[in-house]
Amino acid sequence: MRLDGRRRGGTERGGVISSEAATAEGRVEVRDLTKTFGSVTAVDSLSFTVEPGQVTGFLGPNGAGKTTTLRMALGLITPDRGTATIGGTPYAALPRPATRVGAVLETAFHPGRSGRDHLRVYCRAAGLPTRRADDVLAQVGLTPAGGRRAGGYSLGMRQRLGLATALLGDPRVLVLDEPANGLDPEGIQWLRGFLRHLAHDQGRTVLVSSHLLAEVEQTADRVVIVGAGKLVREGSLAELRDESAGTVLVRTPASAQLAAALTGAGAAVESTAPDALTVTGMTTEQVGAHAFSAGVELHELRARTTGLEEVYFRLTSGAEQYAATGGGAS
Amino acid sequence: MNAAVDLVRAEWTKLLTTKVGYWLVAVGALMAAGFTALFTAFAGDQGSGPGGPGGPGLPAVGTEAYASLVAGIPAQVVVIAVVLGVIGTTQEYRHRTATPTFLVTPRRGRVVVAKLVAYAVAGLVLAVAAVAATVLVATLYGGARGGAPDWTADAVGTLLRSGLALVVYAVIGVGVGALVRNQVGAVVGALVYLFVVEPIVASVPATADAYRWLPGGALAALTGDGRGTDLLGTWEGGALLLGYGLLAAVLGTVLAVRRDVV
């Protein structure tokens, strides 16, 4: 792989200058993008930056404008206002875009054409040697099915073919729109590892959209969250996690005694059941220490892992265009 | 220049890795062979139309009129050429491959131009197949009935112009496909136009005059099978037909460049 030398962490051979140049080349910058379809403003003055060497999750409910934003960044939709650049250049002005940016926007292929022939078509169009078709088939694990009609592929195989198409030109930037849709758990596991490898080990820019936080939670380093076409939050996943930290579940037969101790120590305590408390503003260690010094017996003590999802819901609530009543996203 | 050649080759790869192109060329050749067989089987028969028995019928085999009639047959499969071109562009939208195609080549005008060139060549392949089928059947079957066509310069000229018409109609098809984008709509629209609209325009006295300016009238003028004397000259008709091809190409290109690919 050509990009193996450009690892994260600054120990690569290229030194600071070439590393900075490579970083600039792989940077995706969206500035003030706006697009209106009829009376609906799909994307509204949206700005964010995506850096190489990381997986960036592009999150938002269905209808938040993610696909429109990605299509504008890739020159398929003309924005009403604003710009999107890849390494400082608009996509449509890139000399050989397939060698700079790979995109998986939807599973698009002629059903009567074999996977390998599908890839060869785009090798020719991009001026790449047709053996690249076999390279990328192997890369996504689709070699055995390469000669079969793509119309007979399973959903997971179609997603892999789309990913293979994006990888043809060995691009530094990868853009994936809801790539996990239709993948089975094994496929999702594989995709996560593959995207992390592309970003962390090979230094590529990976921008992956999803309407589910859980889908990118284990993959993404940073998130860009949009709602109703506007930027809601841009930052590292760790920052978002901090916001959700401090919610601890405790089960104890002496809940009143523990609640008093914790409240006295400055935590917000809510009694959710006769023997259960929800504690905000403390870590599990702190809660455990207070329980110990108060001599309270504990039956359960755990941090709530759904906190991040709740932060995401809070950030995007009201932005969902077609929200079902009484239920969250599935 | 290399990039332009690559794009045309990509279009050929698309065409050669699916079945529809092979089918259309086969059907076009079969249609030409069938029409030729039909005209040969009934060659020399007396007409039995409204003029009643004894009216003008099909020319007898071996006559110059027979050769001229047969030489115009490849132009009867223009519908296949149009469908070939229409499918060439609309299948990108039907199977949503317009997205990867325009991602690899964001300067979309180049894609349409590559398609025009690629399908002009595909139209040429169709033309060669249709002309060969016509000549083969006329020579063998006409010979068996006692008079293979005498391939005079006139007849050969008509044959070649009929073939040329297929190339131009394939180009028109690419342009129409780029305009309409919906495959079923474009194919049905083309069929309705060719088999309903043009014949009506040609036969209604009030509009018959306009027919010569339509693609069908230009085609009739080019291939010399028109009965009317109010058609354009051969090469004027050819130029007009080419003009329609270019118009469709330019409109298709401009729209493909301006429209959002969603």
Reading the block at residue B14, the tokens are 């698309």
DSSP type of residue A4: G
A&B contacts, CB < 8 Å: 88
Inter-chain touch B97–A125, beta carbons under 8 Å? no
Contact B90/A at CB under 8 A: no
Q: What is the CATH number of the domain that holds A191?
A: 3.40.50.300
Helix or strand or coil: residue A280? strand
Helix or strand or coil: residue B142? helix
What's this model's pTM, rounded to 2 decimal places? Answer: 0.83
| CA-based R_g, chain B, Å | 20
Could you tell me if residue A321 is inside a domain? Answer: no
User: Are A235 and A252 in a shared domain?
Assistant: no
Query: What's the complex ipTM?
Result: 0.88
Give the count of alpha carbons within 13 A of B175, CB side only: 18
Q: What is the CATH number of the domain that holds A273?
A: 3.30.70
pLDDT greater at residue A121 or residue B227: A121
Name the pLDDT band for A305 (thresholds 50, 70, 90): low
**Cβ of A122: how many Cβ atoms within 10 Å?**
28
pLDDT digits (tens, 9 = 90+) for A216-269: 888 999 999 999 999 999 999 888 877 766 678 899 999 999 999 999 888 888
User: Residue A19: what pLDDT?
Assistant: 73
C-alpha A94/C-alpha B233 separation (Å) is 48
User: Are A118 and A65 in a shared domain?
Assistant: yes
CB-nearest partner of B260 from A76, A97, A98 = A76
Name the pLDDT band for A11 (thresholds 50, 70, 90): very low
Q: Mean of the pLDDT values across residues A16-35?
A: 83
**Nearest residue in chain B measured CA to CA from A149:** B18
Inter-chain touch A114–B103, beta carbons under 8 Å? no
| CA-based R_g, chain A, Å | 23
User: Are A74 and A151 in a shared domain?
Assistant: yes
Could you tell me if residue A216 is inside a domain? Answer: yes
Q: Which domain holds residue B121?
A: 2-258
Contact B104/A at CB under 8 A: yes
DSSP string, B154-179: HHHHHHHHHHHHHHHHHHHHHHHHHH
Could you tell me if residue A48 is inside a domain? Answer: yes
Q: Which domain holds residue A299?
A: 248-303
Q: Report whether pLDDT(A320) > 70.
A: no
User: Are A102 and A187 in a shared domain?
Assistant: yes
**Residue A270: its H or E element:** strand A268-273
Inter-chain touch B99–A76, beta carbons under 8 Å? yes
CB B137 within 8 A of CB B36: yes
User: Residue A245: what pLDDT?
Assistant: 62
User: Residue A10: what pLDDT?
Assistant: 39
Residue A95 neighbours by CB under 8 Å, 6+ apart: none
User: Residue B45: what pLDDT?
Assistant: 77
Q: Report whether pLDDT(B228) > 60.
A: no
Inter-chain touch B17–A76, beta carbons under 8 Å? no
Question: What distance in Å separates residue B98's CA from the closest CA in chain A?
Answer: 8
User: Are A234 and A155 in a shared domain?
Assistant: yes
**Nearest residue in chain A measured CA to CA from B107:** A92
Name the pLDDT band for A273 (thresholds 50, 70, 90): confident
User: Are A62 and A89 in a shared domain?
Assistant: yes
User: Are A15 and A58 in a shared domain?
Assistant: yes
User: Residue B197: what pLDDT?
Assistant: 94
Give the count of alpha carbons within 13 A of B176, CB side only: 26
User: Are A32 and A9 in a shared domain?
Assistant: yes
Chain B contacts of A132, Cβ < 8 Å?
none
Name the pLDDT band for A183 (thresholds 50, 70, 90): confident
**Nearest residue in chain A measured CA to CA from B3:** A127
Contact B40/A at CB under 8 A: no
pLDDT greater at residue A238 or residue A288: A288
Inter-chain touch B106–A110, beta carbons under 8 Å? no
Chain A contacts of B20, Cβ < 8 Å?
112
Chain A contacts of B91, Cβ < 8 Å?
110
* Closest C-alpha among A122, A20, A32 to residue A73: A32
Name the pLDDT band for A199 (thresholds 50, 70, 90): very high
Last residue of a domain, one of A242, A262, A287: A242
Contact A76/B at CB under 8 A: yes
AA identity, residue A253: P
Between CA B176 and CA B185, with CA B182 as vertex, the angle to 5 degrees is: 80
Those of residues 60-79 in B touching chain A at CB distance below 8 A are none
Residue B136 neighbours by CB under 8 Å, 6+ apart: B33
**Cβ of A7: how many Cβ atoms within 10 Å?**
17
A231-240 burial, b at 16+ Cβ within 10 Å, e below that, comes to: bbbbeebeeb
Q: Say how many domains are in chain A.
A: 2
C-alpha B6/C-alpha B2 separation (Å) is 6
Inter-chain touch A106–B96, beta carbons under 8 Å? yes
CB A97 within 8 A of CB B104: yes
* Closest C-alpha among A321, A329, A327 to residue A40: A321
Between CA B226 and CA B233, with CA B228 as vertex, the angle to 5 degrees is: 70
Lowest mean pLDDT among A109-118, A307-316, B35-44, B124-133: A307-316
Contact A105/B at CB under 8 A: yes
User: Residue B258: what pLDDT?
Assistant: 87
User: Residue A106: what pLDDT?
Assistant: 85
> SS3 for A175-195, per residue?
EEECCCCCCCHHHHHHHHHHH
Name the pLDDT band for A302 (thresholds 50, 70, 90): confident
User: Residue B147: what pLDDT?
Assistant: 81
User: Residue A65: what pLDDT?
Assistant: 94
Contact A91/B at CB under 8 A: yes
Q: Say how many domains are in chain B.
A: 1
User: Residue A282: what pLDDT?
Assistant: 85
Could you tell me if residue A90 is inside a domain? Answer: yes
Could you tell me if residue A318 is inside a domain? Answer: no
